[in-house]
Amino acid sequence: MSIKFGTDGWRAVISDTFTFANLRLVSQAMADYILAENSTTPSVVIGFDTRFLSDRYAAEVARVMAANDIQTWLARADTPTPAISYAVVNKKATAGVMITASHNAPRYNGVKLKSAFGGSASPEQNKRIEQLLQRNQESLRGPNLMELEAGIRAGRIVKFDPAWAYYEHLGTLVDLDIVSGAELRVVCDGMYGSGRGSIGEMLTRGRTRVQNIRAEMNPGFGGIHPEPIAKHLGMLISTIQSGHWDVGLATDGDADRIGAVDARGQFVDPHRIFALVLRYLLEKRGWTGAVVRTVSTTRMLDRIAADHGLPLVETPVGFNHIADLMIANGVVMGGEESGGMSVKGHIPEGDGVLMGLLLLEVMAEAGKPLHALVEELLAQYGPAQYARTDMKLTRPVAKETMVKLLLDLAPAAISGVDVEEVQTTDGVKYYLADGSWLLIRPSGTEPVLRVYAEAPSDARVAALLAFGEEMAAKA
């Protein structure tokens, strides 16, 4: 049996590879890692999302940790990933474990390992756990186990609610008085995930009118992927269009990603959310520092950073790359196209709840509807239209093989526009003379090839995507 950690932990199909037996083995390897990190006072925070059996899986991890004499804090109920990440820092724990498959399809579940600083474990740390897992399997060492109730009685497992410390911390990063004063009408779409109700709970004592949708427990996520992109937000869009609402905010399966819908029912993607919040932090709060974005994220951020004399750093896809730079300080804001973003003073972790609240602050301070703010942004730092398409792979293709093929086939021009530069930060990215770009890269979590494009017009985006798909089909 081969268990491999991807971009952010281990994900697999429930009852296929993601079983209680395999989870115990992975938990023992994580316990061995935690003990190696802190042999005197080891501790771990464990949380879980709303997926099928997630609460039981989390309890199983707790049983293994307690049996290894690791002080364990186990969430009482499903909780956003960033709340668990913050709890790791707040409780000065050695590590955190989140049972979630994030935005993946309902048949998946997974494990995210969090480092002591609150962000995702590094690729090196994940690799170390894989090595420990392999060592245990080769030596036929099974997991240590303690009954849950025995662990609770012994004080090794303590159930807790991570929400309130997390909410208190968010209150230091968002001006809730500005938000309350605007009396915004907000629809919060929890997408049946563990962020359900979180944004509303932060606003409940103010004058913001909130309606929660898809906030009940539904492990099947209504038959969709709990990913806050336009094609999964039909209910949010129709709710906005059928009433008098100013904005809709959607968080993914574990609430580390954000998407939005304006009062006209138009989807506002993470690129524009990132750019709006960044511009606000620089212009209204006077914050300074480096701006960090992944290779697949809008170049509007480059133009905003340049306008304010700030450095822009491009990283491979995966928030762990952004986290490394945030830990070193000096980063004002970092994020990726998937909707994971964070700001200075927060944990180095994507946080959909925080970003939703900051977007409300941007709207409230400006006193303008979201569509007007987006139009202003595009007039100042655009035009920038964006799209992504995913191509299912008929056979596995190694990233190195794909990169070499795309470099060998790199054209001098695409649809009549010169290619100025080709980069291989993560996959292959073509920079064109009109400010547009095309990126082709294998996913780190699914057997698909992702093709991304940004250009001044939808027609140019379509042309770039068509070329990208043609190139990808040659793999």
* pLDDT tier for residue 468 given thresholds of 50, 70 and 90: confident
Note the pLDDT of residue 398. Answer: 75
What stretches of 85-232 adopt beta strand conformation (E)?
95-99, 108-114, 157-160, 185-189, 209-213
Note the pLDDT of residue 475. Answer: 65
Q: Are 431 and 437 a contacting pair, CB within 8 Å?
A: yes
Lowest pLDDT segment from 14-18, 356-360, 424-428: 424-428
Query: Distance between CA atoms of 72 and 63, rounded to whole angstroms?
Result: 9
Note the pLDDT of residue 400. Answer: 82
User: What are the backbone angles phi and psi of residue 199, rounded to the nearest 5°?
Assistant: -65, -40
* pLDDT tier for residue 393 given thresholds of 50, 70 and 90: confident
Lowest pLDDT segment from 96-100, 413-417, 442-446: 442-446
Of residues 79 and 442, the one with the higher pLDDT is 79
For residues 83-112, give the mean pLDDT.
Answer: 96
Residue range 331-369, pLDDT digits in tens: 999 999 989 999 999 999 999 999 999 999 999 999 999
Pick among 3.30.70.330, 3.30.565.10, 3.40.120.10, 3.40.630.30: CATH of 174-381: 3.40.120.10
Name the residue ranges covered by the structural domains of the chain: 10-162, 174-381, 385-472
Residue range 235-271, pLDDT digits in tens: 999 999 988 999 999 999 999 999 999 999 999 999 9
Q: Which residues contact 216 (CB under 8 A, 6 or more apart)?
A: 192, 196
Question: What is the reported pTM?
Answer: 0.94
To the nearest 5 percent, what fractions of the chain are helix, strand and coil? 40, 25, 35
Tokens of 142: 């099974």
For residues 86-114, give the mean pLDDT.
Answer: 96
Of residues 401 and 361, the one with the higher pLDDT is 361
Query: Distance between CA atoms of 259 and 355, rounded to whole angstroms?
Result: 9
- Our measurement of the distance from residue 123's CA atom to the centroid of its chain's CA atoms, rounded to an integer in Å, reads 16
Q: Say yes or no to pLDDT of 3 above 90.
A: no
Query: Distance between CA atoms of 162 and 357, rounded to whole angstroms?
Result: 19
Q: Say yes or no to pLDDT of 445 above 70.
A: no
Q: Are 100 and 48 a contacting pair, CB within 8 Å?
A: yes
- What proportion of the chain, given as a percentage, has pLDDT over 70? 98
Residue range 176-194, pLDDT digits in tens: 999 999 999 999 999 999 9
* pLDDT tier for residue 447 given thresholds of 50, 70 and 90: confident
For residues 49-78, give the mean pLDDT.
Answer: 98
Q: How many CB atoms lie within 10 A of CB 15?
A: 12
Q: What angle do CA 199, 170, 45 make, to 5 degrees?
A: 95
Task: Say yes or no: do domains 10-162 and 174-381 share a fold.
Answer: yes
Query: Distance between CA atoms of 147 and 119, rounded to whole angstroms?
Result: 29
As to burial, measured by CB atoms within 10 angstroms (0-12 exposed, 13-18 middle, 19+ buried), residue 320 is buried
Lowest pLDDT segment from 25-34, 102-111, 299-308, 398-407: 398-407
Q: Average pLDDT of the chain?
A: 94
Note the pLDDT of residue 410. Answer: 85
Note the pLDDT of residue 390. Answer: 87
* pLDDT tier for residue 399 given thresholds of 50, 70 and 90: confident
Tokens of 459: 């027609």
Q: How many CB atoms lie within 10 A of CB 69?
A: 14
Note the pLDDT of residue 406. Answer: 84
Whether a cis peptide bond, with omega within 30° of 0, leads into 383 is yes
CATH architecture of structural domain 385-472: 2-Layer Sandwich (3.30)
Q: Say yes or no to pLDDT of 446 above 80.
A: no
Tokens of 175: 């001006």
Query: Distance between CA atoms of 128 and 134, rounded to whole angstroms?
Result: 10
User: What are the backbone angles phi and psi of residue 326, rounded to the nearest 5°?
Assistant: -65, -35
Note the pLDDT of residue 1. Answer: 58
- The CATH H-level (homologous superfamily) assignment of domain 10-162 is Alpha-D-Glucose-1,6-Bisphosphate, subunit A, domain 3 (3.40.120.10)
